[in-house]
Structures are given as structure tokens and as C-alpha cells.
Amino acid sequence: MKNILIIGGAGYIGRQIVNLLNKKKYKIFVIDNLSTTKKNYLNKKINFFKVSILNKNKLKKLFKKYHFNTVIHLAAKCVVSESEKYPQKYYATNVIGTKNIIECSKKYRVQNFIFSSSCSVFSNKTKIVKENSSKNPISYYGKTKLIAEKLIKKKFNKSNIKYIILRYFNVVGADKKNKIGEIGNKDRLFNNISKKIIGNEKNINIYGGDYKTNDGTCIRDYIHVYDLANIHIKCLEKIKKIKKSIDLNCSYGKGYSVLEIAKTFQKLFNKKIKISFRKRRIGDMKEIVASNKKLNKFINWTPKFNNLNKMVTSTFTWNRYLEKIL
């Protein structure tokens, strides 16, 4: 049985991956600093360690003791607007923390490495982005993820470690049983609108109504968290067979505007929403949609939730469940 380490495995996406991995023949270890989650959200059978990725000495001890075959590195600070206010914190976690993990992986002979990056690494000039599209981030968050990508490539290209870089587009929803979802991040559009409707609030703020798009609002490509977690499982199975490391865009390859999403919530749940347009936020892109052809070819992927109504319903149902238990 192979030892697999999931760094940030108690978080929103990490718990989904752990849940799917429980059905496979791996011995699962999770590291998380619990800054945005709780240990009791994980299965009690999981080998859990509360460790910051900035604590290099503790990381070394764990890597030395458990001889991890594979590392899935999810841990990061990931709120674009927050990164502009606290750049040093974002650099520390997303760059220095990743550097620590890279060094431990090399020293203790990890064989496979999967890294969660972001669509924020791309420039603001290309509407449909391929894996090799221009990288010129406009947010500080995007800059830290691009630096981390470059570190991985520089350090691992001269080693025997095979890596896959997964660039997440906008992640939404909860697992199929609505037992695992995102907690505490009100900045995300789907969560924000869900909470407003559940709380019978009518006012929804949209940041930027003057972009050069069809309805003046930003356009984003989304992916449901269950489908994203499943991509990791498929990549985990595939990485053993590849000869060359690879970058992959993780999305459905279809863009939706902020206004379109708000109207979909309104229609599905029969709630009138009053939309207020606010000033653009620093770091927000006008439009970004991925080409996912490379991903589809690599893992022969069949997503379950690639439909706006499904994504909206899943997110809303999860937030309604949260209202009852918190």
C-alpha cells in the first residue's frame, strides 16, 4: 500500500479528494494548519497532522518517517482581493511554503507530485486560454502561484520526480451527498448569492458593471468541486505511466457572466434580487475561459456537473444545509 500525502487535505477541495481516495488502496496522510477548517471534518481513520507548511523542520520529520510515494499539494492562500492587501502573507504561504515542500519531496525521494495552481497565472489579454497561453498575472495571488509553478519545474525537471500542475478555474458546489462543501468564504460569488437568498436579503453587489462584455460584467469558467476532485484521482492513476510531466487546465471550457449567474439563482429559486453595481475590484480579470482539450485527452474525462443549473443548485443546497448545522 502506497503512502500518499495531501497537504491542505482538510480544506474545501482536499476533503473531497480524501473522500474519493478512501475508496482506493492508499494509506492517506493529511497535513493542514486548520486556518480555514477543522480536524473533525475529516474521517477519523485518516492520519492527520496539524502542521504549517512554513515549519520546515516538522515537514522534514514527517517526510523522513513516512516515506511518501506521492504528494498532492493543495495548501495555499487563495482570495484574490485579500492578496492585494496582504502580499507578504501570500508570498510566505504560496511561495516559501511550496519551496519547503519541494525540498522535502526531493530529499526524501517522493516519486509523484500533483500541484494545485490557478487560472490566475494567465494574462488578462487572452479570452480562451490554453496551457501554453501567455502568463502575466494581474493579481498578487496569481503572481505567487506562477512563481510556485516555476519553482516546481526548475527543481523537479532535474530529478526523478514526475509532476502534474493542475490550474483550477473557479470552483463551486459540494459533494453529491451535500456533506462536504466550502465553509467560511463569503467572497465567492455562488456562496454569496446563496447566503443572501437563504437569509431573504434582496441586495446583491456586483463588482464592475462596465467591462467590455455582453452584459458589462466579468465572465468566468467554473468547475464543480466533485469533478475537480475526480480529476485528481484520475491524474493520480495516470501519473505512474507518464514519461513527461504536464500542465493541465481544470474547467468545463464554458464562460458565464456574473449577471447571468445571479439571474440563474433568481430563476431557479423564484427570488427577486436587486443588483447593485460597485466599483471594480483590484486583480479581477474581465474574462477568462479555458480550453480543456488537453485535460480531456489526458484522462478521458466525463464530468458530472458541467451545467450551470446543477452548479447553482449544488451550491445553494450546501449553503442551506450549513444554515441548519452552524
The beta strand positions in the chain, using DSSP E, are 2-7, 26-32, 47-50, 70-73, 112-118, 128-129, 162-168, 170-172, 203-207, 219-224, 246-250, 255-257, 274-278, 287-290
Q: Which of 303, 298, 293 shows the shortest CA–CA distance to 245?
A: 298
Cell numbers placing 255? 464562460
Classify burial at 212, counting beta carbons within 10 Å of its beta carbon; exposed 0-12, middle 13-18, buried 19 or more. Answer: exposed
Count other C-beta atoms under 10 Å from residue 23's C-beta: 8
What is the set of active-site residues? 141
Q: Compute the distance between CA of residue 127 and CA of residue 286 in angstroms, rounded to an integer.
A: 9
Residue by residue, DSSP assigns 158-215 as: TSS-EEEEEEE-EEE---TTS-S---S-TTSHHHHHHHHHHTT--EEEEE-S-SSSSS
Distance CA 3, CA 6 (A): 10
Q: Compute CA distances 295 → 157, 235, 239, 248, whole Å.
A: 21, 10, 13, 6
CA nearest neighbour of 162 among 96, 116, 203, 106: 106
Cβ(281)–Cβ(287) below 8 Å = no
Strand partners, 164: 114, 246
